[in-house]
Amino acid sequence: MQKDSMAGRRRLRERLAHPEDAQRATSALDAHPTTPHAVRSLQHQAGNRAAARALASTADATTAGRPPVRRVAAPSVKTTQVATGAAPRGAGSSAQSKRPRDVAARQKIGIEKVAANATALGALGGDYGITWPQAIRLTHGAKLEGDNWALTVNDVVGDYSVQARILGHQTDVTSAAIATQATYQEICNSLDALGVPGNGFNFYSLKAVQAHESKHATRALQALMDVREQIQAKFATVTIARLNNQETALAAVARLQALPAYTTAMNESFALWDARFDALINGDHTGDGPCELAEKSITVPLKNAIMERAKTERWIAPPAQVALT
């Protein structure tokens, strides 16, 4: 593959089903300049990260990222790490507003797997799979700093999606039983090559693709944890003057969320998570890297089983007999 000269484009292995898929994927990304995360074979796609993301807040003004997503009904995956700290002087919910100041606030940070939205679906193109951060959801409190309310961040949840598939013309290699005398060698070649290029093989393993993408998904929580303090710092700058001595923290949060500065902080916070995720997956596609090893944990046993079957079925010619003299 030729190295792309555009700044910010990542070097990834080509796994596209057909050459026209590469053109279609490139056209889609030019129309919506987004760099696919953890793309398992799109070739050098990207562009300006800041301009690429169509960052939008949802109707409740507590979610930022790509367009609102449909939640996966089941199974839902959520990982939470709980940290304990001093309670803020005020709260972003009725339950928090009733809590005494000296009670520790339980602050959560986690991720939730959701259905792929339109942007993630488009970014998949002709590829095998993609892992894609889609939005962040926050809960807030407010604390008084002199005569001003400042926004605090209590809980942070990152929504991400995972797509994994084999290509339309391919048969899923689920076991050695798939192989025949006519196909076993092609199947083994595909497993050896990890399905690359996609248009070169009529067989590959869905489980191998899923193993690859699951390795990327492990980066989502770590990325969010890495930028948690930066997110908190961004919202600490969102302030508003106190109306009167009777104004509650709950009422202040509602006013703070209506500020343009709040929308900016949401979008910038998502961008922080997004960029950190990209940085963490940077080495996932290197030779013998995490994703390649994850795929091989599926493909190597499959190939071994197929070769054993080929010997048992005598698809492999026995070695020539040496005549004794």
| 113 Cβ contact list (under 8 Å, min separation 6) | 72, 76, 77, 78, 159, 160, 161, 162, 217
pLDDT of residue 322: 73
pLDDT by 10s per residue, the chain, length 325: 222 222 232 223 333 333 344 333 333 333 333 333 444 433 222 332 333 333 333 333 355 654 433 333 333 344 444 333 333 323 333 233 333 332 234 579 999 999 999 999 999 999 999 999 999 999 999 999 999 999 999 999 999 999 999 999 999 999 999 999 999 999 999 999 999 999 899 999 999 999 999 999 999 999 999 999 999 999 999 999 999 999 999 999 999 999 999 999 999 999 999 999 999 999 898 888 999 999 999 999 999 999 999 999 999 987 777 777 6
Task: Tokens for 224, please give them.
Answer: 């969010």
Closest CA to 270 of 132, 95, 106, 130: 132
Asked if the structure places residue 2 within a domain, the reply is no
Asked if the structure places residue 92 within a domain, the reply is yes
Cα(122)–Cα(30) distance, integer angstroms: 12
pLDDT of residue 283: 87
Q: Is the dihedral of CA 263, 268, 273, 274 positive or negative?
A: positive
pLDDT of residue 107: 74
Q: Which domain holds residue 81?
A: 19-312
Cα(105)–Cα(86) distance, integer angstroms: 6
Residues forming beta bridges with residue 239, ordered by sequence position: 150
b/e sequence 289-313, b meaning 16+ C-beta within 10 Å: ebbbebbbebbeebbeebbebbeee
Asked if the structure places residue 321 within a domain, the reply is no
Asked if the structure places residue 325 within a domain, the reply is no
Asked if the structure places residue 267 within a domain, the reply is yes
pLDDT of residue 6: 25
Asked if the structure places residue 93 within a domain, the reply is yes
Q: Is the pTM of this model over 0.85?
A: no
Counting beta carbons within 10 angstroms of the beta carbon of residue 247, is it exposed (0 to 12), middle (13 to 18) or buried (19 or more)?
Answer: middle
Asked if the structure places residue 115 within a domain, the reply is yes
Asked if the structure places residue 11 within a domain, the reply is no
Q: How many domains does the chain have?
A: 1
Instruction: Tell me if 38 sits within 8 A of 283, measured CB to CB.
Output: no
